[in-house]
Amino acid sequence: MIARPTVAATTALALFLAPAAAQTPEIRARMETALVHLAEGNEDAAVPLLLQVVDEAPFHGPARLQLGALAVTRSEWAVAGDHLRAALEATGEATPAGAVPVQRPGLAWALLAEALDGEGDLEGALEATGEALRFAPAFAPALLRRSDLARRLAGIHSSDGWTPSRIHHVETALEAAREAARLAPERPRPWRALSLAATAAQVEELARCAARRATEIAPADPAAWFLLARAARESDPEEALAAAESALAAGGDRDPALWMLLGELRAFRMDMSAALAAYAEALRLDPAAAGEMASPALDALAAGDDEELLVLLAERARRAAGAVNTRFTLARRALRLGRIEEAAGELRALAGIRPGHPAILTALHTALRRTGASGEADRVLARLEAVKAAESSAWARSNQRQQARAEARSALDRGDFVAAAAAWEALSADPDPADDPNRSDDFARLGQALAGLGRPARALAAFGDSLALRPFDPEVLAAAAEVAASAGHTEAAGRYSGRARLAAPECAPPSARL
Amino acid sequence: MTEKAGLRTDAWGQGAVSGDFDGDGFPDLYVTALGPNLLFRNNGDGTFTEIAASTGVAGNEWSIGAAFLDADDDGLADLFVANYIETTEAQIRSGERTRRWRGRVLVLDGPRGLPPAANRFYRADGGGGFLDETTVAGFATGPPRYSMGVAALDADGDGDPDLFVANDSAANALWRNDGGGFRDVGLLTGVALSADGATQGSMGVAAADADGDGFPDLAVTNFAHDHYAFYRGLATDLFLDDAVGAGIATATFAPLGWGAVFFDAENDGDLDLAFANGHLYPQVDEDPALGESYAQPDQLFLREGDGYRAGTFGRPERSSRGMALLDLEGDGDWEVAVSNQDAAPVLWRGRTVAPGGWIRFRLVDPIGERDGLGARVTLTSGAARRRAGQTSGGSYASDSERVLHFGLGDSDRPVSVEVRWRDGMVETWPDLAPRRTWILKRGAPAAPHGTLLFQ
């Protein structure tokens, strides 16, 4: 929350500096009285005066700012938004006639960000804090507020892949979090925000580094430990497990996501009993966690003697038709326990939702054969056969691509750019949905090979294709920047290197603002 | 003794199965290998002669599991051989580690991406040799898979032997025998995939009617980081992977399994389950984060109710592969023999804690296949009836003592036993005393072991 005295002082400054033509003596008098009331904490007396001012001068920025700030303190987000937008409108380059600008637009933007965040307009809030940053880069409260937004924005799961808007937001989040960490490196929140933004940017090393900073600053903060655990789970599962256990010890035991992560990390260490205990806890705290659980684990939990869990799962299955994992687990349990008709009915419904799911088809086929519905069972079997045949073909194709990839990599390593470029080009030109995780790397290596052949334009195109899939890959960004610079594309080089700096794995506060 | 017995070989041996292929009453030995396999004919005097090439069963693949069976009820032992990858010793030795196991240590890639080798079915020709009838018998339908363990069992209860083949990284096969010709009904019957509809890295198999409901059950070992399968027989030709319900899923997620046997470890009348475990990649020892080790404990799952309670045999822990059963001491409890990678074998000595009774049967069929392969034995002890089949192969690249063993719990009363021979003929022997091994020879009175053996 932006502090009230700051707002009042700013308004007083605005009154002093405002052009006389823009304010009648009456308006000025009302404003001064209102400010006195505000300084005394008598808001009820101040508000009617301020409202009178904006009735007479709708674009009186200082009055609008005061009203907006008051509305923010009262969580009247829509009212606050209206006043603050008007205040900012009075402050821009094309201001309406008679407008009185606010002197601290950064503050107005920061307040507007808070209002928008309160309304649930996360992206709008982020943009507003971006503006606050632009006007007042050293305004720490706003930046910290922004880092919080960045954290939340970075947490938004996007199923649309990397759209330009998402790239922009994650970039902004990274920038804001980096700046917040530079300004307040002694506080954990900017580092947590940076870790989250880096996670959203898929820059694991940065996410891990920032989270580690946060744990160093705030060792009793479970959120910091959780972030470290999550960031390190791929590259260092041991550190991740230790961090997750620390998060638990620090009081994170009410967080289902932490229990899920613990389950995953314990399973990676092959400690299956402990993993199941963690998964069970996650389910108890949030039955929706079943949707993210590997079905053997969920199956094992459903097969145990924990009646409480079964009730939770049954309740979730009853309420959420889309909870396929939960419903499937319970259907399979029914099948195992010999409740065949119940199992067949539910599995039939699930096969309608997921017609190509081999586990559902396998169980449905068994259930149907047990009920004697042989015709339907045969049809399900045919579907299952088709699914498995497609799976085999995909595997074969994937193997071929892996082999081609290995040969291309080897050509690149020995400096045979012609062979490497040809191989990567062939791989890149023939994309395979099952092979998506490798495509970004394919394009990047094609770019490397083309750069090696002295074809910067085509190399940059390949790097661009790679970055469309992984926009924050620091190595690709650096390579693209280098090629762009050498080809004289200064602007592109600057853009790439700017993003590369944001995504750089190092998390020491930068010496200069990015 | 190996040298004197004529069993020494330079072959890169993989596994072995015994069978009296020539019906002379002496068990012969078929050894699978990388390259030509070996058939050691028992000369009856403690020595063997290698005759694989001359009898037509040498092949030249990378063979793992094998099983004898009388597929066509002609009284002769036919032979099925499970083959893995088309490769050579030189290719294996020069293989580069290009894949990261669980994203960490570098290991050899495969089997996916490598050419699978076709399995072989050798039908006995009646003249002491075999004919490669892989295609004629139907085994060439569908592409080859990476086959490992194989068990002959009567999966559909029609009296003839079917074949379960554990495949690595591919759907398992259940070859149903329809009058000597076979077709794969793995997917149809529910044994091809895990409960998750996934192909697993299957290695070995144990087959028996573990829950006594009249339908065979299958326990299949799999690669690490995936649970073993427990295909519970629900009805004729219908199985359900119930590893979770059987209580083996959680405890088998970590290890990498090979050999597998059902046996009554406690002589309490139900079938327990054991697995030989050991990682394929020695490199896992280099990375503690994996939580894995090359040497792993062999597991013993004791039956409790409708499922199993997990446990281990104890130390030493080695990287085990094959597992087989025998009563080495002749005291009525099983010893479990385990072969290990780059280490001496281990013999787990049976020490039945409960004073359970037991009875064992060795079958002799002078009309059909000599060892009575495919025969079904039904034991009646008081009100209880239990069944077991005379099979071959099973486990991983291993073969157990060809004896049918029944634990009798706390009963010491005589039992009655019925044998349905491979050709459908049924014989009954009543009032057999427990705590001994009986020779059940078709058309002859039961005789205690030691008096009729090899006649």
Tell me the per-residue pLDDT of A304-338, one tens digit each, with 9 for 90 and over. 888 999 999 999 999 888 899 999 999 999 999 99
- Cα B279 from Cα B257, distance rounded (Å): 8
Q: Is the pLDDT of residue A226 over 70?
A: yes
User: How many angstroms separate the CA of residue B247 from the nearest CA in chain A?
Assistant: 9
Q: Which of A370, A384, A400 sits opposite B238 (nearest CB)?
A: A370
Please choose, from the candidates B6, B8, B28, the residue with its C-alpha nearest in 3D space to the C-alpha of residue B17: B28
Binning pLDDT at 50, 70 and 90, where does residue B329 land?
A: confident
At A426, list the tokens.
């062939």
Among B40, B187, B53, B82, smallest CA distance to B397 is for B82
- pLDDT tens digit sequence for B157-187: 999 999 999 999 999 999 999 988 999 999 9
pLDDT at A313: 94
B259 pLDDT higher than 70: yes
Structure tokens at B64: 């793992």
Q: What are the pLDDT digits (tens) for A21-48? A: 457 888 888 988 998 888 888 888 999 9
Q: Cα A204 to chain center, whole Å?
A: 13
The answer to whether residue A140 scores a pLDDT higher than 50 is no
Whether B103 and A234 lie within 8 Å, measured CB to CB: yes
Please say if the pLDDT value at position A133 is more than 70. no
**Which chain A residues touch B if contact means CB-CB below 8 Å?**
234, 236-238, 267-273, 276, 295-296, 299-300, 303, 332, 335-336, 357-363, 365-366, 369-370, 381, 384-385, 387-388, 391, 395, 399-400, 402-403, 406
Cα distance between residue B454 and residue B23, in whole Å: 10
B197 has a chain A CB within 8 A of its CB: yes
Burial label for A510, CB within 10 Å (0-12, 13-18, 19+), is middle
A199/chain B closest Cα distance in angstroms = 19
CATH number of the structural domain A415-509: 1.25.40.10
Distances (CA, A) of A67 to A12, A37, A82, B331: 14, 13, 10, 95
Residues 152-171 of B with CB under 8 A from A: 171
The stretch A435-459 carries a mean pLDDT of: 89
Locate A498 and state its tokens: 């700017």
Interhelix angle A237-249/A256-268, rounded to 10 degrees, is 140
Q: B233: distance to nearest CA of chain A, Å?
A: 11
Q: Do domains A138-252 and A415-509 have the same CATH topology?
A: yes
Taking only the tens place, the pLDDT of each residue in B220-239 is 999 999 999 999 999 999 99
pLDDT score for A243: 98
B112, B290, B292 member nearest A395 (Cβ): B112
User: Taking 70 as the threshold, does the pLDDT of residue A64 lie above it?
Assistant: yes
> Could you tell me which chain A residue has the CA closest to the CA of B104?
A235
Chain A: closest CA distance from residue B17 (Å): 32
Say if the Cβ atoms of A299 and B254 lie within 8 Å: no
Q: Is the dihedral of CA A41, A45, A50, A51 positive or negative?
A: positive
Closest CB from A296, A303, A385 relative to B187:
A385
Beta-strand ranges (E) seen in A218-315 are none
> H/E element holding A345?
helix A340-353
Chain A residues within an 8 Å CB radius of B285: none
* 3-state secondary structure at position B182: strand
pLDDT of residue A408: 87
Cα atoms in the Cβ-side hemisphere of radius 13 Å centred on B52: 20
- With CB atoms and an 8 Å threshold, state whether B249 touches A238: no
Asked, as a colleague might, if the bond just before B316 is cis with ω within 30 of 0, I would say yes
Smallest CA–CA distance from A295 into chain B, residue: B196
Rounded Cα distance, A494 and A474, in Å: 14
- Does the distance separating the beta carbons of A399 and B112 come in below 8 Å? yes
Q: Do B244 and A300 touch (CB under 8 A)?
A: yes
Q: Is B174 on the interface with A (CB under 8 A)?
A: no
pLDDT-based confidence at residue A151 (cuts at 50, 70, 90) = low
Looking at residue A465, its pLDDT comes to 92
Query: Beta strand B38-42 with B320-326: parallel, antiparallel or unpaired?
Result: unpaired
The single-letter DSSP state of residue B72 is T
Q: What is the pLDDT of residue B412?
A: 87
Judged by CB atoms closer than 8 Å, whether chains meet at B190 and A362 is answered as: yes
Entry field: residues in chain B = 455
Min distance B223 CA to chain A CA atoms (Å):
13
Å between B134 CA and nearest CA of chain A: 23
Q: What is the pLDDT of residue A177?
A: 84
Q: Name the residue of chain A whose CA is nearest to B290's CA.
A: A269
Domain boundaries, chain A: 1-132, 138-252, 415-509
CATH code for the part of the protein at A138-252:
1.25.40.10
Phi, psi torsion values for B100, nearest 5 degrees: -95, 120
Contact A361 B254 (CB under 8 A): no
Min Cα distance A396 → chain B (Å) is 7
Which candidate in B187, B196, B213, B284 is best for mutational testing of the A interface (most A CBs within 10 A)?
Answer: B196
CB contact under 8 A, B195 and A363: yes
**Identity of the residue in A237, A296, A384 whose CB atom sits nearest the CB atom of B227:** A296
In chain A, what residues touch B112 (CB-CB under 8 Å)? 395, 399
Tell me which of A332, A371, A410 to substitute to probe the interface with B (most B C-beta atoms closer than 10 Å).
A332
Whether chain A has a CB inside 8 Å of the CB on B424: the answer is: no
Yes or no, beta carbons of A296 and B196 under 8 Å apart: yes
Whether the pLDDT of residue A87 is over 50: the answer is: yes
Residue B394 has pLDDT above 70, yes or no: yes
Q: How many Å apart are CA A324 and CA A89, to the nearest integer?
A: 50
Query: Between chains, do B197 and A370 touch, taking CB under 8 Å as contact?
Result: no
Q: What backbone torsions phi and psi does residue B363 show, to the nearest 5 degrees?
A: -95, 140
User: What residues of A are in contact with residue B251 (Cβ under 8 Å)?
Assistant: 272
Dihedral pair phi/psi, residue A72, rounded to 5°:
-65, -45
Suggest the residue from B232, B242, B244, B292 to mutate for an interface test with chain A (most A CBs closer than 10 A).
B244
What lies within 8 Å, CB to CB, of B338 at 6+ separation is B259, B276, B298, B318, B320, B321, B322, B323, B345, B346, B347, B348
Query: Which chain A residue shows the shortest CA-CA distance from B145?
Result: A392
The partner residues of B428 in beta bridges, in order of sequence, read: B418
Give the 3-state secondary structure percentages of chain A, helix then strand then coil, rounded to 5.
75, 0, 20
Residues 6+ apart with CB under 8 A from A473: A202, A203, A440, A444, A466, A467, A503
Residue among A298, A330, A354, A366 with most chain B CBs within 10 A, to mutate: A366
- Whole-angstrom distance, CA of residue A388 vs CA of residue B173: 14
Interchain CB contact of B253 with A (< 8 Å): yes
- Reading the block at residue A55, the tokens are 């009735």
Quickly state the pLDDT bin for B450 (edges 50, 70, 90): low
B258 to chain A, minimum CA–CA distance in Å?
Answer: 18
- Whole-number Å distance between alpha carbons of B71 and B69: 6
Q: Which of A272, A310, A357, A368 to mutate to test the interface with B (most CBs of B within 10 A)?
A: A272
- The token duo for A361 is 């088809």
Interface size between A and B, measured as CB pairs under 8 A? 92
Contact A373, A396 (CB under 8 A): no
Write the CB contacts of A258 (distance below 8 Å, at least 6 apart in sequence).
A222, A226, A229, A244, A247, A248, A252
- Using 50, 70 and 90 to split pLDDT, how confident is the model at A3? very low
Closest to A145 measured CA to CA, from A129, A163, A128 = A129
Lowest mean pLDDT among B31-45, B91-105, B115-129: B91-105
Does A138 score more than 70 pLDDT?
no
Mean pLDDT of the residues in chain B: 94
Instruction: State whether A385 and B198 contact (CB < 8 Å).
Output: no
Q: Which fold has domain A1-132?
A: 1.25.40
Handedness of CA A459, A463, A464, A469 (dihedral sign): positive
**Cβ–Cβ under 8 Å, residues A472 and A178:** no
Question: DSSP code of A174?
Answer: H
Q: Does B190 touch chain A (CB under 8 A)?
A: yes
Shortest alpha-carbon distance between residue A237 and chain B (Å): 6
Is B67 part of the contact surface with chain A (CB cutoff 8 Å)? no
Q: How far apart are the C-alpha atoms of A54 and A69, rounded to whole Å?
A: 14
- What pLDDT sits at residue A219? 96
The answer to whether B310 contacts chain A (CB < 8 Å) is no
User: In the predicted model, what is the mean pLDDT of chain A?
Assistant: 86
Q: Are B333 and B406 in contact (CB under 8 A)?
A: no
- Across the interface, which of B98, B238, B291 has its CB nearest the CB of A269? B291
Q: Please, which residues bridge with residue B346 across strands?
A: B338
Q: Cα–Cα distance between B160 and B157 in angstroms, integer?
A: 8
Q: What is the pLDDT of residues A250-292, one digit of tens each?
A: 999 999 999 999 999 999 999 999 999 999 999 999 998 998 8
Contact B271, B208 (CB under 8 A): yes
- Mutation choice for B interface testing from A299, A360, A410 by most B CBs within 10 A: A299
